[in-house]
Amino acid sequence: MLQRELQKHQWKAFLRHPMFERNLGIKLFMYLMFGLLGLQLFSLGFILDKMLLEIGSYQLAIYTFNSFALYLFLLDYIVKYIFKQNQSMQIAPYLCLPVKRNRLFNFLLVKEFTNVWNLYLLILIVPFAFKSITPYYGLSIAFLYIIFFYSLCIGNSLLVSLSNNLLNKNGWYFFLPIVVIAAIVALGYFSVVDWGICTVQIGEWLLDGNPLIWLVQAFIFYGLWIANQKTMLGELYRGMEGEKVEKIISFTRISFLDRFGEIGEFINLELKMLIRTRRLRSQVIIGILFIAYYFLIVAYGSEDGAAKSPFIQLFFSIFAIGAIGFSLSQFLFSAQSAFFDGLMTRNHSLLNMIKGKYILYSTHSLFTTCLMMIPVYHGKVSFLFVVSAFFYTIGFLFFLMFLAAIYNKSPLDLFDRGTFNWKGTSGNTMFINMLAMFIPVSIVLAINAVFSQVAGCYFMLITGLIFTLTANHWIKWTYKRFLKRRYKNMEGFRSNA
Protein backbone atom coordinates (compact mmCIF):
# COMPACT_ATOMS: atom_id res chain seq x y z
CA MET A 1 0.00 0.00 0.00
CA LEU A 2 2.75 2.43 0.95
CA GLN A 3 4.71 1.55 -2.18
CA ARG A 4 1.71 2.38 -4.34
CA GLU A 5 1.16 5.72 -2.63
CA LEU A 6 4.81 6.69 -3.03
CA GLN A 7 4.65 5.81 -6.72
CA LYS A 8 1.59 8.04 -7.11
CA HIS A 9 3.42 10.90 -5.39
CA GLN A 10 6.40 10.59 -7.72
CA TRP A 11 4.15 10.43 -10.76
CA LYS A 12 2.29 13.57 -9.65
CA ALA A 13 5.59 15.33 -9.02
CA PHE A 14 6.60 14.51 -12.59
CA LEU A 15 3.28 15.71 -14.06
CA ARG A 16 3.23 18.94 -12.04
CA HIS A 17 6.85 19.86 -12.66
CA PRO A 18 7.17 23.31 -14.34
CA MET A 19 9.49 21.75 -16.96
CA PHE A 20 7.13 18.84 -17.64
CA GLU A 21 7.20 19.16 -21.44
CA ARG A 22 10.99 19.25 -21.61
CA ASN A 23 11.36 16.35 -19.19
CA LEU A 24 8.79 14.32 -21.10
CA GLY A 25 10.59 14.94 -24.38
CA ILE A 26 13.92 13.87 -22.89
CA LYS A 27 12.38 10.71 -21.41
CA LEU A 28 10.74 9.77 -24.71
CA PHE A 29 14.00 10.30 -26.56
CA MET A 30 15.88 8.27 -23.95
CA TYR A 31 13.43 5.38 -24.22
CA LEU A 32 13.68 5.54 -28.00
CA MET A 33 17.47 5.23 -27.80
CA PHE A 34 17.19 2.37 -25.33
CA GLY A 35 14.66 0.70 -27.62
CA LEU A 36 17.01 0.87 -30.58
CA LEU A 37 19.85 -0.43 -28.41
CA GLY A 38 17.58 -3.21 -27.16
CA LEU A 39 16.76 -4.31 -30.71
CA GLN A 40 20.45 -4.51 -31.57
CA LEU A 41 21.29 -6.46 -28.40
CA PHE A 42 18.33 -8.79 -28.93
CA SER A 43 19.50 -9.52 -32.48
CA LEU A 44 23.06 -10.03 -31.24
CA GLY A 45 21.81 -12.52 -28.65
CA PHE A 46 20.67 -14.92 -31.39
CA ILE A 47 24.08 -15.07 -33.07
CA LEU A 48 26.30 -14.61 -30.03
CA ASP A 49 26.70 -18.37 -29.48
CA LYS A 50 28.15 -18.87 -32.97
CA MET A 51 30.51 -15.91 -32.55
CA LEU A 52 31.79 -17.22 -29.21
CA LEU A 53 32.36 -20.72 -30.61
CA GLU A 54 34.58 -19.22 -33.31
CA ILE A 55 36.71 -17.03 -31.06
CA GLY A 56 36.74 -19.17 -27.90
CA SER A 57 38.65 -22.31 -26.97
CA TYR A 58 35.74 -23.98 -25.13
CA GLN A 59 33.39 -26.48 -26.74
CA LEU A 60 30.30 -24.72 -25.40
CA ALA A 61 29.51 -21.06 -26.08
CA ILE A 62 28.23 -20.53 -22.53
CA TYR A 63 31.67 -21.37 -21.12
CA THR A 64 33.34 -18.80 -23.39
CA PHE A 65 30.74 -16.24 -22.35
CA ASN A 66 31.39 -16.99 -18.67
CA SER A 67 35.13 -16.46 -19.21
CA PHE A 68 34.40 -12.85 -20.31
CA ALA A 69 31.63 -12.24 -17.76
CA LEU A 70 33.78 -10.34 -15.25
CA TYR A 71 34.94 -7.80 -17.84
CA LEU A 72 31.35 -7.45 -19.07
CA PHE A 73 30.20 -6.49 -15.59
CA LEU A 74 33.17 -4.12 -15.17
CA LEU A 75 32.04 -2.37 -18.36
CA ASP A 76 28.46 -2.34 -17.05
CA TYR A 77 29.67 -0.74 -13.81
CA ILE A 78 31.61 1.96 -15.68
CA VAL A 79 28.64 2.82 -17.90
CA LYS A 80 26.28 3.04 -14.92
CA TYR A 81 28.80 5.00 -12.86
CA ILE A 82 29.04 7.63 -15.60
CA PHE A 83 25.46 7.93 -16.77
CA LYS A 84 23.08 6.38 -14.23
CA GLN A 85 21.48 8.57 -11.59
CA ASN A 86 20.68 7.34 -8.12
CA GLN A 87 17.00 6.86 -7.39
CA SER A 88 15.91 9.94 -5.47
CA MET A 89 12.90 11.54 -3.86
CA GLN A 90 12.15 14.25 -1.31
CA ILE A 91 12.25 12.20 1.91
CA ALA A 92 12.12 15.14 4.35
CA PRO A 93 8.30 15.72 3.96
CA TYR A 94 7.64 12.10 5.03
CA LEU A 95 9.69 12.30 8.23
CA CYS A 96 6.80 13.82 10.17
CA LEU A 97 4.61 10.83 9.28
CA PRO A 98 4.60 7.45 11.10
CA VAL A 99 6.68 5.85 8.36
CA LYS A 100 9.99 4.14 8.99
CA ARG A 101 12.92 5.66 7.15
CA ASN A 102 14.08 2.25 5.94
CA ARG A 103 10.75 1.74 4.17
CA LEU A 104 11.37 4.95 2.25
CA PHE A 105 14.89 3.83 1.39
CA ASN A 106 13.59 0.37 0.40
CA PHE A 107 11.15 2.05 -1.99
CA LEU A 108 14.05 3.70 -3.78
CA LEU A 109 16.10 0.50 -3.84
CA VAL A 110 13.18 -1.63 -5.09
CA LYS A 111 12.90 0.68 -8.10
CA GLU A 112 16.25 -0.72 -9.26
CA PHE A 113 14.42 -3.90 -10.31
CA THR A 114 12.55 -2.01 -13.06
CA ASN A 115 15.30 0.45 -13.97
CA VAL A 116 16.14 0.35 -17.67
CA TRP A 117 19.84 0.40 -16.81
CA ASN A 118 19.42 -3.12 -15.40
CA LEU A 119 17.51 -4.43 -18.40
CA TYR A 120 19.72 -3.77 -21.41
CA LEU A 121 22.12 -6.66 -20.69
CA LEU A 122 19.14 -8.89 -19.89
CA ILE A 123 17.85 -8.34 -23.43
CA LEU A 124 21.12 -9.75 -24.72
CA ILE A 125 21.33 -12.72 -22.37
CA VAL A 126 17.76 -14.05 -22.75
CA PRO A 127 18.00 -15.32 -26.36
CA PHE A 128 21.62 -16.33 -25.87
CA ALA A 129 20.85 -18.39 -22.74
CA PHE A 130 17.98 -20.27 -24.38
CA LYS A 131 20.11 -21.11 -27.42
CA SER A 132 23.33 -22.04 -25.63
CA ILE A 133 22.08 -23.60 -22.36
CA THR A 134 18.75 -25.30 -23.10
CA PRO A 135 20.13 -28.01 -25.49
CA TYR A 136 22.71 -29.15 -22.92
CA TYR A 137 21.31 -28.37 -19.45
CA GLY A 138 17.58 -27.99 -19.95
CA LEU A 139 15.06 -25.15 -19.89
CA SER A 140 14.93 -24.80 -16.10
CA ILE A 141 18.69 -24.22 -15.85
CA ALA A 142 18.43 -21.58 -18.59
CA PHE A 143 15.75 -19.77 -16.57
CA LEU A 144 17.90 -19.96 -13.43
CA TYR A 145 20.91 -18.62 -15.33
CA ILE A 146 18.87 -15.66 -16.60
CA ILE A 147 17.60 -14.90 -13.09
CA PHE A 148 21.14 -15.13 -11.69
CA PHE A 149 22.48 -12.82 -14.40
CA TYR A 150 19.68 -10.32 -13.83
CA SER A 151 20.34 -10.32 -10.08
CA LEU A 152 24.01 -9.59 -10.79
CA CYS A 153 22.96 -6.59 -12.90
CA ILE A 154 20.87 -5.29 -9.98
CA GLY A 155 23.75 -5.94 -7.59
CA ASN A 156 26.04 -4.00 -9.89
CA SER A 157 23.55 -1.13 -9.85
CA LEU A 158 23.42 -1.21 -6.04
CA LEU A 159 27.21 -1.06 -6.01
CA VAL A 160 27.11 2.03 -8.25
CA SER A 161 24.56 3.67 -5.93
CA LEU A 162 26.79 2.88 -2.96
CA SER A 163 29.79 4.39 -4.76
CA ASN A 164 27.88 7.60 -5.48
CA ASN A 165 26.67 7.87 -1.89
CA LEU A 166 30.19 7.38 -0.55
CA LEU A 167 31.48 9.96 -3.02
CA ASN A 168 29.03 12.51 -1.62
CA LYS A 169 30.41 11.75 1.83
CA ASN A 170 34.10 12.01 0.98
CA GLY A 171 35.71 12.98 -2.30
CA TRP A 172 38.52 10.47 -1.92
CA TYR A 173 36.03 7.72 -2.84
CA PHE A 174 36.14 9.07 -6.40
CA PHE A 175 39.42 7.21 -6.90
CA LEU A 176 38.34 3.94 -5.24
CA PRO A 177 36.47 2.46 -8.26
CA ILE A 178 39.29 3.54 -10.58
CA VAL A 179 41.91 1.82 -8.42
CA VAL A 180 39.85 -1.37 -8.01
CA ILE A 181 39.02 -1.69 -11.71
CA ALA A 182 42.62 -0.93 -12.71
CA ALA A 183 43.88 -3.56 -10.24
CA ILE A 184 41.48 -6.22 -11.59
CA VAL A 185 42.43 -5.50 -15.20
CA ALA A 186 46.15 -5.38 -14.37
CA LEU A 187 46.04 -8.71 -12.52
CA GLY A 188 44.39 -10.31 -15.52
CA TYR A 189 46.56 -8.59 -18.11
CA PHE A 190 49.83 -9.65 -16.45
CA SER A 191 48.47 -13.18 -15.86
CA VAL A 192 48.73 -12.90 -12.09
CA VAL A 193 45.13 -14.10 -11.80
CA ASP A 194 43.26 -15.89 -14.59
CA TRP A 195 39.83 -14.36 -14.14
CA GLY A 196 38.48 -16.37 -17.07
CA ILE A 197 39.09 -19.69 -15.33
CA CYS A 198 37.57 -18.34 -12.10
CA THR A 199 34.37 -17.15 -13.75
CA VAL A 200 34.08 -20.33 -15.83
CA GLN A 201 34.27 -22.39 -12.63
CA ILE A 202 31.58 -20.25 -11.02
CA GLY A 203 29.47 -20.72 -14.15
CA GLU A 204 29.89 -24.50 -13.96
CA TRP A 205 28.67 -24.52 -10.35
CA LEU A 206 25.68 -22.44 -11.41
CA LEU A 207 24.85 -24.73 -14.36
CA ASP A 208 25.22 -27.79 -12.14
CA GLY A 209 22.72 -26.34 -9.67
CA ASN A 210 25.12 -25.84 -6.76
CA PRO A 211 23.10 -24.04 -4.03
CA LEU A 212 26.26 -22.49 -2.56
CA ILE A 213 26.36 -20.03 -5.48
CA TRP A 214 22.89 -18.73 -4.65
CA LEU A 215 23.73 -18.54 -0.95
CA VAL A 216 26.87 -16.45 -1.58
CA GLN A 217 25.03 -14.20 -3.99
CA ALA A 218 22.18 -13.68 -1.52
CA PHE A 219 24.69 -12.76 1.19
CA ILE A 220 26.45 -10.21 -1.07
CA PHE A 221 23.14 -8.79 -2.27
CA TYR A 222 21.92 -8.38 1.32
CA GLY A 223 25.18 -6.66 2.26
CA LEU A 224 24.87 -4.18 -0.60
CA TRP A 225 21.24 -3.50 0.32
CA ILE A 226 22.07 -2.76 3.98
CA ALA A 227 25.12 -0.68 3.00
CA ASN A 228 22.95 1.45 0.71
CA GLN A 229 20.42 1.96 3.49
CA LYS A 230 23.15 3.10 5.88
CA THR A 231 24.75 5.52 3.42
CA MET A 232 21.35 6.94 2.38
CA LEU A 233 20.53 7.50 6.04
CA GLY A 234 23.86 9.27 6.51
CA GLU A 235 23.14 11.49 3.51
CA LEU A 236 19.73 12.34 4.95
CA TYR A 237 21.21 13.33 8.32
CA ARG A 238 23.93 15.42 6.69
CA GLY A 239 21.34 17.25 4.63
CA MET A 240 19.18 17.92 7.68
CA GLU A 241 22.08 19.03 9.84
CA GLY A 242 23.51 21.28 7.13
CA GLU A 243 27.01 19.85 7.38
CA LYS A 244 29.52 21.95 5.50
CA VAL A 245 30.71 20.63 2.19
CA GLU A 246 34.28 21.47 3.11
CA LYS A 247 34.08 18.79 5.82
CA ILE A 248 32.54 16.25 3.49
CA ILE A 249 34.91 16.66 0.59
CA SER A 250 38.14 17.81 2.13
CA PHE A 251 40.69 16.66 -0.40
CA THR A 252 39.61 19.31 -2.92
CA ARG A 253 41.15 21.95 -0.68
CA ILE A 254 44.81 21.90 -1.64
CA SER A 255 46.70 24.14 0.77
CA PHE A 256 49.64 24.39 -1.63
CA LEU A 257 47.48 26.52 -3.94
CA ASP A 258 46.96 29.16 -1.27
CA ARG A 259 50.32 30.71 -2.15
CA PHE A 260 48.91 31.62 -5.59
CA GLY A 261 46.36 33.93 -4.02
CA GLU A 262 43.05 34.38 -5.78
CA ILE A 263 44.05 32.14 -8.71
CA GLY A 264 44.75 29.29 -6.30
CA GLU A 265 41.39 29.88 -4.62
CA PHE A 266 39.62 29.60 -7.98
CA ILE A 267 41.48 26.34 -8.73
CA ASN A 268 40.32 24.92 -5.39
CA LEU A 269 36.75 25.96 -6.16
CA GLU A 270 36.98 24.39 -9.62
CA LEU A 271 38.15 21.09 -8.13
CA LYS A 272 35.26 21.08 -5.68
CA MET A 273 32.80 21.78 -8.48
CA LEU A 274 34.20 18.94 -10.62
CA ILE A 275 33.81 16.42 -7.81
CA ARG A 276 30.53 17.58 -6.30
CA THR A 277 28.45 18.18 -9.46
CA ARG A 278 27.24 15.19 -11.45
CA ARG A 279 27.20 16.99 -14.80
CA LEU A 280 30.87 18.00 -14.73
CA ARG A 281 31.97 14.86 -12.91
CA SER A 282 30.67 12.74 -15.80
CA GLN A 283 32.78 14.83 -18.19
CA VAL A 284 35.88 14.10 -16.10
CA ILE A 285 35.17 10.37 -16.03
CA ILE A 286 34.63 10.27 -19.80
CA GLY A 287 37.96 12.06 -20.23
CA ILE A 288 39.71 9.45 -18.06
CA LEU A 289 38.11 6.64 -20.05
CA PHE A 290 39.23 8.28 -23.28
CA ILE A 291 42.82 8.26 -22.03
CA ALA A 292 42.46 4.55 -21.22
CA TYR A 293 41.07 3.99 -24.72
CA TYR A 294 44.09 5.74 -26.20
CA PHE A 295 46.48 3.40 -24.43
CA LEU A 296 44.53 0.24 -25.29
CA ILE A 297 43.72 0.99 -28.93
CA VAL A 298 45.94 3.72 -30.34
CA ALA A 299 49.19 3.26 -28.45
CA TYR A 300 49.15 -0.53 -28.10
CA GLY A 301 46.74 -1.55 -30.86
CA SER A 302 47.56 -3.71 -33.85
CA GLU A 303 50.10 -2.29 -36.25
CA ASP A 304 47.82 -2.70 -39.27
CA GLY A 305 44.64 -1.46 -37.57
CA ALA A 306 42.67 1.68 -38.40
CA ALA A 307 43.88 3.23 -35.14
CA LYS A 308 47.35 3.57 -36.70
CA SER A 309 46.18 5.90 -39.48
CA PRO A 310 47.73 9.40 -39.30
CA PHE A 311 44.41 11.12 -38.70
CA ILE A 312 43.27 8.74 -35.94
CA GLN A 313 46.64 8.79 -34.20
CA LEU A 314 46.92 12.59 -34.31
CA PHE A 315 43.32 13.31 -33.36
CA PHE A 316 43.16 10.78 -30.54
CA SER A 317 46.57 11.74 -29.16
CA ILE A 318 45.61 15.41 -29.00
CA PHE A 319 42.21 14.62 -27.52
CA ALA A 320 43.75 12.32 -24.90
CA ILE A 321 46.18 15.05 -23.82
CA GLY A 322 43.50 17.74 -23.62
CA ALA A 323 40.52 15.52 -22.73
CA ILE A 324 39.54 17.38 -19.56
CA GLY A 325 40.25 20.78 -21.05
CA PHE A 326 38.22 20.11 -24.20
CA SER A 327 35.30 18.69 -22.22
CA LEU A 328 35.14 21.50 -19.68
CA SER A 329 36.32 24.57 -21.60
CA GLN A 330 32.99 24.75 -23.46
CA PHE A 331 31.47 25.51 -20.02
CA LEU A 332 34.21 28.02 -19.17
CA PHE A 333 31.67 30.69 -18.19
CA SER A 334 28.34 28.83 -18.25
CA ALA A 335 29.46 26.48 -15.44
CA GLN A 336 28.97 29.49 -13.14
CA SER A 337 25.69 30.51 -14.85
CA ALA A 338 23.60 29.86 -11.72
CA PHE A 339 25.58 32.43 -9.70
CA PHE A 340 27.24 34.48 -12.42
CA ASP A 341 25.38 37.67 -11.45
CA GLY A 342 26.78 37.37 -7.94
CA LEU A 343 30.26 36.67 -9.27
CA MET A 344 30.19 39.82 -11.40
CA THR A 345 29.05 42.03 -8.52
CA ARG A 346 31.77 40.93 -6.10
CA ASN A 347 35.33 42.03 -5.81
CA HIS A 348 36.75 39.01 -7.63
CA SER A 349 38.58 39.09 -10.90
CA LEU A 350 37.00 37.06 -13.68
CA LEU A 351 40.42 37.11 -15.30
CA ASN A 352 41.90 35.13 -12.40
CA MET A 353 39.09 32.60 -12.73
CA ILE A 354 40.01 32.01 -16.38
CA LYS A 355 43.70 31.75 -15.49
CA GLY A 356 42.90 29.22 -12.77
CA LYS A 357 40.92 27.05 -15.19
CA TYR A 358 43.73 27.22 -17.75
CA ILE A 359 46.33 26.18 -15.17
CA LEU A 360 44.14 23.27 -14.02
CA TYR A 361 43.48 22.02 -17.56
CA SER A 362 47.15 22.37 -18.50
CA THR A 363 48.24 20.49 -15.37
CA HIS A 364 46.02 17.59 -16.36
CA SER A 365 47.46 17.68 -19.88
CA LEU A 366 50.98 17.58 -18.44
CA PHE A 367 50.08 14.57 -16.31
CA THR A 368 48.63 12.76 -19.34
CA THR A 369 51.72 13.61 -21.38
CA CYS A 370 53.89 12.05 -18.68
CA LEU A 371 51.79 8.90 -18.91
CA MET A 372 52.28 8.88 -22.67
CA MET A 373 56.01 8.57 -22.08
CA ILE A 374 55.27 4.87 -21.46
CA PRO A 375 54.38 4.15 -25.12
CA VAL A 376 57.25 6.45 -26.10
CA TYR A 377 59.61 4.21 -24.11
CA HIS A 378 58.19 1.15 -25.88
CA GLY A 379 58.66 2.77 -29.28
CA LYS A 380 54.93 3.05 -30.10
CA VAL A 381 55.03 6.84 -30.65
CA SER A 382 57.86 9.31 -31.00
CA PHE A 383 58.97 11.66 -28.24
CA LEU A 384 58.87 14.65 -30.60
CA PHE A 385 55.26 13.87 -31.55
CA VAL A 386 54.06 13.66 -27.93
CA VAL A 387 55.83 16.85 -26.81
CA SER A 388 54.62 18.72 -29.89
CA ALA A 389 51.05 17.54 -29.34
CA PHE A 390 51.24 18.69 -25.71
CA PHE A 391 52.26 22.27 -26.51
CA TYR A 392 49.92 22.39 -29.51
CA THR A 393 47.04 21.40 -27.21
CA ILE A 394 47.66 23.69 -24.22
CA GLY A 395 48.63 26.55 -26.51
CA PHE A 396 46.77 26.82 -29.79
CA LEU A 397 43.82 24.47 -29.16
CA PHE A 398 43.03 25.77 -25.68
CA PHE A 399 43.12 29.29 -27.12
CA LEU A 400 40.48 28.32 -29.70
CA MET A 401 38.32 26.52 -27.14
CA PHE A 402 38.46 29.44 -24.69
CA LEU A 403 37.55 31.81 -27.49
CA ALA A 404 34.61 29.61 -28.52
CA ALA A 405 33.35 29.52 -24.92
CA ILE A 406 32.74 33.27 -25.06
CA TYR A 407 29.77 32.68 -27.35
CA ASN A 408 28.12 30.02 -25.19
CA LYS A 409 25.30 31.75 -23.35
CA SER A 410 23.18 28.67 -22.56
CA PRO A 411 22.50 28.15 -18.82
CA LEU A 412 24.01 25.03 -17.29
CA ASP A 413 22.45 23.09 -14.41
CA LEU A 414 25.44 21.55 -12.63
CA PHE A 415 23.32 19.09 -10.67
CA ASP A 416 21.27 17.90 -13.61
CA ARG A 417 21.72 14.40 -14.97
CA GLY A 418 24.54 13.60 -17.39
CA THR A 419 22.59 11.20 -19.62
CA PHE A 420 20.99 12.53 -22.81
CA ASN A 421 21.39 16.04 -21.52
CA TRP A 422 22.42 18.82 -23.87
CA LYS A 423 21.47 21.65 -21.55
CA GLY A 424 24.29 24.16 -21.40
CA THR A 425 25.19 23.78 -25.07
CA SER A 426 23.69 25.06 -28.29
CA GLY A 427 23.98 24.28 -31.98
CA ASN A 428 26.29 27.23 -32.57
CA THR A 429 28.53 26.23 -29.67
CA MET A 430 28.81 22.64 -30.87
CA PHE A 431 29.61 23.79 -34.40
CA ILE A 432 32.31 26.21 -33.20
CA ASN A 433 33.85 23.55 -30.96
CA MET A 434 33.98 21.08 -33.85
CA LEU A 435 35.72 23.65 -36.02
CA ALA A 436 38.15 24.44 -33.20
CA MET A 437 39.11 20.76 -33.08
CA PHE A 438 39.13 19.65 -36.70
CA ILE A 439 40.68 22.68 -38.43
CA PRO A 440 43.99 22.56 -36.43
CA VAL A 441 44.17 18.80 -36.96
CA SER A 442 43.50 19.22 -40.68
CA ILE A 443 46.31 21.79 -40.95
CA VAL A 444 48.80 19.38 -39.40
CA LEU A 445 47.63 16.52 -41.63
CA ALA A 446 48.05 18.73 -44.70
CA ILE A 447 51.62 19.57 -43.66
CA ASN A 448 52.29 15.87 -43.09
CA ALA A 449 51.01 15.03 -46.56
CA VAL A 450 52.90 17.81 -48.37
CA PHE A 451 56.17 17.62 -46.44
CA SER A 452 56.61 14.95 -43.75
CA GLN A 453 55.41 13.96 -40.30
CA VAL A 454 58.52 15.49 -38.77
CA ALA A 455 57.61 18.81 -40.38
CA GLY A 456 54.11 18.50 -38.95
CA CYS A 457 55.55 17.86 -35.49
CA TYR A 458 57.78 20.93 -35.70
CA PHE A 459 54.80 23.00 -36.85
CA MET A 460 52.82 21.87 -33.80
CA LEU A 461 55.80 22.47 -31.51
CA ILE A 462 56.53 25.99 -32.76
CA THR A 463 52.87 27.03 -32.91
CA GLY A 464 52.16 25.51 -29.52
CA LEU A 465 55.18 27.19 -27.89
CA ILE A 466 54.17 30.57 -29.29
CA PHE A 467 50.64 30.32 -27.85
CA THR A 468 51.83 28.73 -24.60
CA LEU A 469 54.43 31.41 -23.90
CA THR A 470 51.91 34.14 -24.75
CA ALA A 471 49.07 32.49 -22.77
CA ASN A 472 48.88 35.41 -20.35
CA HIS A 473 48.22 37.82 -23.24
CA TRP A 474 45.57 35.80 -25.09
CA ILE A 475 43.80 34.99 -21.81
CA LYS A 476 43.56 38.74 -21.15
CA TRP A 477 42.32 39.24 -24.71
CA THR A 478 39.69 36.52 -24.17
CA TYR A 479 38.66 38.20 -20.94
CA LYS A 480 38.21 41.55 -22.70
CA ARG A 481 36.21 39.90 -25.50
CA PHE A 482 33.88 38.38 -22.93
CA LEU A 483 33.40 41.72 -21.13
CA LYS A 484 32.12 43.24 -24.38
CA ARG A 485 29.29 40.72 -24.60
CA ARG A 486 28.87 39.86 -20.90
CA TYR A 487 25.35 41.29 -20.74
CA LYS A 488 24.17 39.06 -23.61
CA ASN A 489 25.67 36.03 -21.91
CA MET A 490 24.28 36.93 -18.51
CA GLU A 491 20.84 37.38 -20.03
CA GLY A 492 21.15 33.88 -21.48
CA PHE A 493 22.39 32.49 -18.15
CA ARG A 494 19.22 33.78 -16.45
CA SER A 495 17.03 31.94 -18.94
CA ASN A 496 15.32 28.72 -17.83
CA ALA A 497 14.51 27.61 -21.34
Long-range CB contact pairs, 141-148, < 8 A, 24+: 141/207, 141/209, 144/206, 144/209, 145/62, 145/206, 145/207, 146/122, 148/206, 148/213, 148/214, 148/217
Say how many domains are in the chain.
Answer: 2
194 and 284 assigned to the same domain? no
pLDDT confidence band for 202 (50 / 70 / 90): very high
Of the candidates 241, 268, 289, which is a domain's last residue? 241
Give the model's pLDDT for residue 78: 84
320 and 206 assigned to the same domain? no
Q: Is the pLDDT of residue 245 over 50?
A: no
> Cα 233–239–245 angle (5° rounding)?
115
221 and 287 assigned to the same domain? no
Of the candidates 241, 274, 293, which is a domain's last residue? 241
94 and 30 assigned to the same domain? yes
Cβ–Cβ contacts within 10 Å for residue 33, how many? 12
224 and 273 assigned to the same domain? no
342 and 207 assigned to the same domain? no
CA distance 460 to 217: 54
225 and 359 assigned to the same domain? no
Of the candidates 241, 269, 297, which is a domain's last residue? 241
190 and 222 assigned to the same domain? yes
Q: Mind listing the pLDDT tens digit for each residue in 157-201? A: 999 888 888 877 776 777 788 888 888 888 887 778 888 899 999
Q: Is 19 exposed, middle or buried (0-12, 13-18, 19+ CB in 10 A)?
A: exposed
Is there a domain that residue 246 lies in? no
Is there a domain that residue 193 lies in? yes
Give the structural domain span for 178. Answer: 2-241
222 and 362 assigned to the same domain? no
Is there a domain that residue 17 lies in? yes
Average pLDDT, the chain: 79
483 and 442 assigned to the same domain? yes
pLDDT confidence band for 252 (50 / 70 / 90): very low
Is there a domain that residue 361 lies in? yes
Q: What are phi and psi of 209, to 5 degrees?
A: 80, 30
256 and 234 assigned to the same domain? no
Is there a domain that residue 247 lies in? no
418 and 281 assigned to the same domain? yes
Q: Mind listing the pLDDT tens digit for each residue in 86-131? A: 766 666 666 666 777 777 777 778 888 888 888 888 888 999 999 9
Model-wide pTM > 0.95: no
